[in-house]
């Protein structure tokens, strides 16, 4: 009998540990009555999860547009990470590096064998999916993300201590070297 009581008690404790306390979902309001922004913190252990969440989201958008799926490319990820950090150093979101490099230069530096389709960038406190939604609202960035010739994706970011995130997505296509397509790079 004691064994059964012990098992029942253990099960109850284990199930109680699995439950969560409800989180207050009401946003904190500022003096103007508007919701205060929340800082989206990214830990170093989340890199793969965030990159694949972005890849899955981009591929869902591409599928609905009739475009083939993309795959993550480690070389393009490296180029995106370098540029995200450099934008933070420069404190401005733009397509040129502090050394004057262009997206084509950065893709060549990492020895990417394909061609650059385009680069999308952002400076924000928002999540990667909120940033993707904002990119999809702008024709030039949406065209880069949905370009039917693209097959490779590089995606990375740099987060400053204050929470500001510098996002960079690089889209590439097989063959032809780093020559850009007819689709311009976009912010």
pLDDT of 40-98, one tens digit each? 677 778 787 999 999 999 999 999 999 999 999 999 999 999 999 999 999 989 898 98
CB 172 within 8 A of CB 114: yes
CB 62 within 8 A of CB 69: yes
User: Do the domain assignments include residue 111?
Assistant: yes
Q: 166: domain range? A: 52-173
User: Do the domain assignments include residue 108?
Assistant: yes
Which of 169, 174, 176 is CA-nearest to residue 103?
169
Which of 100, 73, 40 is CA-nearest to residue 154?
73
User: Do the domain assignments include residue 162?
Assistant: yes
User: Do the domain assignments include residue 78?
Assistant: yes
CATH of residue 116: 3.40.33.10
String of DSSP letters for the chain: -HHHHHHHHHHHHHHHHH--PPP--SPPB-TTSSBPP------GGGHHHHHHHHHHHHHHHHHHTTPPPPEE-HHHHHHHHHHHHHHHHHTS--SS-TTS--HHHHHHHTT-SSEEEEEEEEEESS-HHHHHHHHHTSHHHHHHHH-TT--EEEEEEEE-TTS-EEEEEEEEESSSTT---SSPP--
User: Do the domain assignments include residue 147?
Assistant: yes
CA 35 – CA 30 distance, rounded (Å):
6
CA 17 – CA 182 distance, rounded (Å):
55
- pLDDT tens for residues 124-166? 888 999 999 999 999 999 999 999 999 999 999 999 998 899 9
User: Do the domain assignments include residue 42?
Assistant: no
In the chain, the number of structural domains is: 1
User: Do the domain assignments include residue 7?
Assistant: no
Maximum C-alpha span of the chain: 77
- pLDDT tens for residues 9-48? 544 444 444 443 344 556 678 788 877 667 667 777 878 7
> Does pLDDT of 171 surpass 50?
yes
pLDDT score, position 4: 52
Question: Which distant-in-sequence residues (6+ apart) come within 8 Å of 151 by Cβ?
Answer: 68, 70, 71, 114, 172, 173, 174
Q: 34 is written with which tokens?
A: 């508007």
User: Do the domain assignments include residue 57?
Assistant: yes
CA 93 – CA 134 distance, rounded (Å):
15
């Amino acid at each position: 009998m004691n064994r059964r009581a012990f098992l029942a008690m253990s099960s109850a404790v284990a199930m109680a540990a699995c439950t969560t306390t409800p989180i207050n979902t009401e946003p904190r309001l500022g003096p103007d009555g508007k919701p205060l922004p929340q800082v989206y913190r990214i830990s170093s252990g989340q890199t793969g999860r965030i990159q694949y969440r972005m890849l899955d989201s981009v591929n869902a958008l591409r599928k609905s547009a009739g475009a083939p799926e993309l795959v993550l490319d480690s070389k393009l990820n490296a180029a995106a990470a370098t540029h995200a950090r450099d934008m933070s150093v420069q404190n401005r979101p733009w397509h040129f590096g502090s050394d004057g490099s262009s997206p084509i230069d950065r893709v060549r530096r990492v020895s990417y064998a394909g061609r650059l389709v385009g680069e999308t960038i952002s400076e924000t406190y928002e999540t990667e999916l909120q940033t993707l939604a904002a990119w999809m609202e702008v024709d030039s960035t949406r065209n880069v993300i949905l370009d039917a010739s693209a097959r490779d994706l590089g995606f990375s970011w740099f987060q400053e201590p204050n929470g500001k995130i510098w996002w960079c997505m690089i889209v590439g296509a097989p063959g032809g070297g780093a020559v850009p397509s007819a689709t311009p790079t976009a912010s």
